[in-house]
Chains A and B, each alone.
Chain A
Amino acid sequence: MSLLRVDSLSVQTSDTVLVSNLSFSLAPGERLGLIGESGSGKSLTALAMTGLLPRQLDASGSVLLAGEEVIGGSDRQLNTLRGTAVAMVFQEPLTALDPLMRVGKQIAEPAARRAKRDGTPIMGGALDATVIDLLLEVALPDPQRIAQAYPHELSGGQRQRVAIAMALACKPDLLIADEPTTALDVTTQAEILGLLDGLVRKRDMALLFISHDLPVVANTVERVVVLRRGETVETGLVADVFAQPRHDYTRSLLQAARSFDDALGGKR
């Protein structure tokens, strides 16, 4: 029984088609990567999974998340899915956090909401303890101090960990990560990817990982869908697609990635 099932998803405006006929599915605990360059529609796809597309855009087709239809769903219905079945981590840690709220409070909000929905509300000291636990889970040292800090007092990497903690607070079955490390330094990126990998395994979450960075995707997911201008170009196991790409576009992407990868290995 798949956790997420996308069937012929199309996203368009009145005169342009941004995503066309996209289909894929994700089982619980599975990891799927959406690869695409700019204009491929990958970020729009991520938003469509939770019904968060901007109002000017029309979505058609079917997105079944935990058995519920997302396309055309009412906000009330979708709100029960968001923050329980699915949580998202975005690219830009600077804008993903409220600059005027302490970080601890921002994590407490989704945690409290989830607990309430589960029928076991937590408050006060118990809530604080939960926040600290989450901060420790994302490997932030000195969690008491961090919980009291404002976003601008933290580094990019720390902010992204906080964003991940907020996502984890929802205890989601599916984690959608849209270019979560693109805005980070290389060393920080490696740490965050390692963190995500560990968390996804430990909590047995499904992961929908969106990126343009092929090596990153290669090391993070099991299956890939390659997008180009809204269309599916190729899908399959990452090992297969990367070793033997069938489509010209995939081939050119891999060639490009390989040229830099080879240079790192010493060939020029």
Chain B
Amino acid sequence: MSLIRVDDVSFGYTADRRILDGVSLDIAAGDTIGLVGESGSGKTTLLRLLLGLERPNAGSISFDGAPLEPGNGPFMRQFRRQAQVVFQDPYSSLDPRQRVFSIIAEPLRSLRIAGDHAVAVASALAAVGLDPDTAKRYPHQFSGGQRQRIAIARAIVAKPRLLLADEAVSALDLTTRVRIVELLAELSKDMSLLFVSHDIGVVAALCQRIVILEHGRIVEQGETANVLAAPQHSYTQRLLASVPRLTLKET
């Protein structure tokens, strides 16, 4: 039973330029999927469509069997309880004028989630490995990696079934990147994960399935191990050949 089903979706802001063309995708409970593409592939747009921030021009997106209706308030509240997102830039995804507690608690308030918010926030902070007194401070007092953890805490506080990540580690240092990837791997034991990235190495380390997007179309998808070992499409092959490897060339 799929959590999210994308059925032949197309999207473009203008009639002549299609950003996404006939994309179909299935996200089931327990999946960790990596969506790989370069700039202009449409991966960010697909993410926005999945979040209900835009409507597709053609095709449909359904959640738990029901089609996504971005205009329907109560439906979207239900949907957003289940699907949350972490963005790329840790410096612009947190409101600089709000304390961390407010930032993390916002989904609880806006989605009208019952229960003790203070407890939920504390447990989210613990889950991402941050001190409880992080909640009293402001975002600028933290490093990029810590801010990303705060962003993740915000995304998981409502206990969603699906976590969407838009280049969530791309802006981080290498050593921090590894730690955040480990965190996401840990969290993905309890929720499905759709990880959008241009970095195949990270996707390979984190995701069970991989989907390759080129110019708005899915050119290849499958189990990560299989696709990496034997890429079928020429673009996938070119992509994999371009990734710099640690094994040194003969000089």
Contact = CB atoms under 8 A, between A and B. Distances in A.
Given A260-B204, A264-B204, A266-B225, 7 more contacts: A185-B38, A187-B38, A218-B246, A222-B251, A260-B178, A260-B201, A261-B245
Contacts of B202: 260
Contacts of B178: 255-256, 259-260
A189 B242 CA distance: 8
B39 interface: yes
A120 to B, nearest CB: 36
Interface in B196-243: 198-202, 204-205, 225, 228-229, 238-243
Interface string A230-268: 000000001100100000000011011111110111101
Contacts of B198: 185-186
Interface string A15-41: 000000000000000000000011000
A77 interface: no
Nearest to B39: A185
A68 interface: no
Interface of B: 38-39, 144, 173-175, 177-178, 198-202, 204-205, 225, 228-229, 238-249, 251
A170 B71 CA distance: 58
B238 A264 contact: no
Given A186-B198, A261-B201, A215 B174 contact: no
A238 B200 CA distance: 24
A189 B202 CA distance: 17
Contacts of A37: 173-175
Contact of B38 (A186, A239, A260): A186
B173 A212 contact: yes
Contacts of A258: 246
Interface string A186-220: 11111001000000000000000000111110110
A187 B236 CA distance: 11
27 contacts: A38-B173, A185-B39, A186-B198, A186-B243, A187-B239, A188-B38, A189-B242, A190-B242, A190-B243, A193-B244, A212-B173, A213-B174, A215-B244, A218-B244, A219-B249, A252-B175, A256-B174, A256-B175, A256-B177, A256-B178, A259-B178, A260-B178, A260-B205, A261-B245, A263-B201, A263-B205, A264-B240
A96 to B, nearest CB: 18
B204 A190 contact: no
Contacts of A257: 174, 246
A253 to B, nearest CB: 6
A41 B112 CA distance: 46
Contacts of B204: 260, 263-264, 268
B242 A242 contact: no
Contact of A219 (B175, B201, B228, B244): B244
A264 B207 CA distance: 11
Most chain B beta-carbon contacts within 10 A, residue among A242, A256, A264: A264
A161 to B, nearest CB: 16
Given A38-B173, A263-B204, A156 B39 contact: yes
A268 B205 contact: yes
Nearest to B208: A268
A258 B202 CA distance: 11
A212 B242 contact: no
B248 A218 contact: yes
A189 B240 CA distance: 12
Given A156-B39, A264-B204, A268-B205, A215 B177 contact: no
B201 A253 contact: no
B201 A264 contact: yes
A256 B202 CA distance: 11
Contact of A259 (B38, B205, B238): B205
B205 A215 contact: no
Contacts of B201: 260-261, 263-264
A253 B248 contact: no
A265 to B, nearest CB: 8
B40 to A, nearest CB: 9
A214 B38 CA distance: 20
A78 B247 CA distance: 39
Contacts of A187: 38, 238-239, 242
A214 B243 CA distance: 12
Contacts of B251: 222
Nearest to A260: B201
A-B interface, 10 closest residue pairs, ranked by CB to CB distance from nearest: A260-B201, A190-B242, A263-B204, A263-B205, A215-B244, A185-B38, A37-B173, A256-B178, A261-B246, A187-B242
A206 B174 CA distance: 27
